[in-house]
Amino acid sequence: MADEYRPLATLFHMDASTAAPAHLRELTHARLTADSTFRTGIATKLGELFIGMPRELTRQLNDVLARESSIAVLWNGIPRIMKHSYIVHAISEEILSTNDIEGVRSTRKEVQDAVETAQHEAGHTASNAPHDPYRTVRFEEFARLYLGLTDEQAQLPQTLDDLRTIYDDVVGDEITDDDRPDGELFRNGDVEIIGAGERVVHTGAHSEARINELLTQMLALMKSERIPQLLAATAAHFLFEYTHPFYDGNGRMGRYLLALNLRPTLTLPSVLSLSRTIADNRQRYYKAFSSVENPLNHGELTFFVQMLLECIAQAQTELIERLTRQLNCLGRLSAHCDDLGREHRLSEHARQTLFALMQEAVFGGRDGMSLDAAAQHLHLSKQSARKTVEELERADLITFTKRRPLTFAYTGELPE
């Protein structure tokens, strides 16, 4: 297409005339100063970082926001037990994905333990197990950060000190002593990122003073009211990775900051799906990042932003399919529970508990429900909840999986 919006470097290479450098300067100036362009005001060796607004990017933004409306409706139709299960699974997958990208060895059980422990600490769940305050769990602080995204009022970092605090929580003990920051807050020495063929693909900012300057501008960009939040979040993500303020752990922290920055615009399940999608598209991600660093592109972020929006769109599409399947399954569970309720003449509290146990059996990651959790679910005293459990036991619908604490699970057939 003759009017297709292309990278500046591509247009330069397509120009066979001797005036190609002059044409590139003119086109760069035209893009930078166009009324539709979002300028960051952040000067780098690449040029001022800016986002052009071709028609395709406008359409992508609109589609992302439209899909968010569909996701919000689906998410609001999901009961608490399913949401809890989904959040534990999604945070676990996010941490596993980001560890995988960074080459940090971790098992699914380690990460799920970290999420469950962080939830217990935050009072988000009625755990079946007593909490040991002296036990340290690997990745717990990282899990706690992601768990914080469940709060719609989650705060963006305000200061450079806040960024360092987040970093310490993200990396924990997963970096070597040699890779720990040696400046006041960030790294003091130079860093080189080596790509294929032992080639240096990125060098990062060259001093802690420059790191401080760029990250201060990044914090302002995150809060910008002049640039739409989806665009500002993706531009800030590039700037963080471009600055590369630490020797190790930049990728993990950058993806967490992106999730935090997208939280006001996107639903929780969308935000919690992003690292996995970036991991699935990492080669495209690296290619888009390198394209911005091409001097001929003069700091244009448009195509990097588009690539990240494509990752968000992929995560959303898969999420809509998954939530739709879960809601269809929930409908079949509800009908089966109603049939059993009539067959055994169950009280309303017993039917509610049975439905919760069925959800735990299908969607939950735990070995049933504790008596405390049942009381909490039914808004009853522990003694009243015990009578409900006894009713289900007489109907032969539950089995006890633990005696201390008293824990039970649904023992019957589940619908296909």
Pairwise pLDDT comparison (345 vs 175), residue with the higher score: 345
Amino acid identity of 375? A
Q: Given 244, 298, 349, 377, which residue is catalytic?
A: 244
Least confident residue range of 114-123, 183-192, 213-222, 399-408: 114-123
Q: Which CATH architecture has domain 347-410?
A: Orthogonal Bundle (1.10)
Pairwise pLDDT comparison (179 vs 112), residue with the higher score: 179
Is 297 labelled a binding residue? yes
d(CA 208, CA 185): 8
Q: How far is CA 191 from CA 160, 161, 187, 244, 335, in A?
A: 20, 21, 9, 8, 60
So what's the pLDDT on residue 222? Answer: 96
Reference 148, options 130, 174, 168, 122; nearest CA is: 122
DSSP β-ladder status, 47-51 and 38-44:
antiparallel
Residue 128 confidence class, pLDDT cut points 50, 70, 90: very low
Amino acid identity of 192? E
Residue 195 confidence class, pLDDT cut points 50, 70, 90: low
Is 168 labelled a binding residue? no
DSSP output for 182-231: -SSSS--S---EE-GGG-EEE---SSHHHHHHHHHHHHHHHT-SSS-HHH
Is 252 labelled a binding residue? yes
Burial of 350 (0-12, 13-18, 19+ CB in 10 A): buried
**What does the chain come to in residues?**
416
So what's the pLDDT on residue 137? Answer: 64
Residue 413 confidence class, pLDDT cut points 50, 70, 90: confident
So what's the pLDDT on residue 60? Answer: 97
Q: Is 406 helix (H, G, I), strand (E, B) or coil?
A: strand
So what's the pLDDT on residue 197? Answer: 55
Q: Tell me the two tokens of residue 208.
A: 């802690």
So what's the pLDDT on residue 347? Answer: 95
Residue 394 confidence class, pLDDT cut points 50, 70, 90: very high
Residue 230 confidence class, pLDDT cut points 50, 70, 90: very high
Residue 7 carries which DSSP code?
-
Is 249 labelled a binding residue? yes
Residue 173 confidence class, pLDDT cut points 50, 70, 90: confident
Q: Is 368 helix (H, G, I), strand (E, B) or coil?
A: coil
Is 251 labelled a binding residue? yes
d(CA 262, CA 235): 12
> Which pLDDT tens digit goes with each residue over 310-344?
999 999 999 999 999 999 999 999 999 999 999 99
Q: Which helix (H) or strand (E) holds 88?
A: helix 80-102
Residue 200 confidence class, pLDDT cut points 50, 70, 90: low
So what's the pLDDT on residue 132? Answer: 45
d(CA 114, CA 91): 10
The CA radius of gyration of the chain, in Å to the nearest whole number, is: 25
> Which pLDDT tens digit goes with each residue over 347-375?
999 999 999 999 888 887 667 888 998 99
So what's the pLDDT on residue 54? Answer: 96
Q: What percent of the chain has pLDDT over 90?
A: 60
Residue 73 confidence class, pLDDT cut points 50, 70, 90: very high
Is 254 labelled a binding residue? yes
Mean pLDDT of 384-398: 94
Is 286 labelled a binding residue? yes
Is 315 in contact with 270 (CB distance < 8 Å)? yes
So what's the pLDDT on residue 103? Answer: 75
d(CA 403, CA 367): 12
d(CA 119, CA 88): 9
Residue ranges in 296-347 assigned as alpha helix (H): 302-343
pLDDT at 96 over 90: no
Mean pLDDT of 238-258: 93
Residue 159 carries which DSSP code?
S
Q: Where are the domains of the chain?
A: 49-322, 347-410
Residue 55 confidence class, pLDDT cut points 50, 70, 90: very high
Query: In which residue are the tokens 């598209």 written?
Result: 281
Mean pLDDT of 42-52: 96
pLDDT at 395 over 90: yes
> Which pLDDT tens digit goes with each residue over 251-276?
889 999 999 999 999 999 999 888 88
Least confident residue range of 3-12, 27-36, 84-93, 234-243: 84-93
C-alpha distance across the termini of the chain, in Å: 50
Q: Does pTM surpass 0.95?
A: no
Least confident residue range of 85-94, 161-170, 253-262, 307-316: 85-94
So what's the pLDDT on residue 361? Answer: 86
Mean pLDDT of 118-127: 60
Multiple choice CATH, 49-322, 1.20.1250.20, 1.10.8.60, 1.10.3290.10, 3.40.1390.30: 1.10.3290.10
So what's the pLDDT on residue 414? Answer: 87
Q: How many CB atoms lie within 10 A of CB 256?
A: 23
Mean pLDDT of 204-230: 95
d(CA 128, CA 370): 6
Is 247 labelled a binding residue? no
13 counts as catalytic:
no
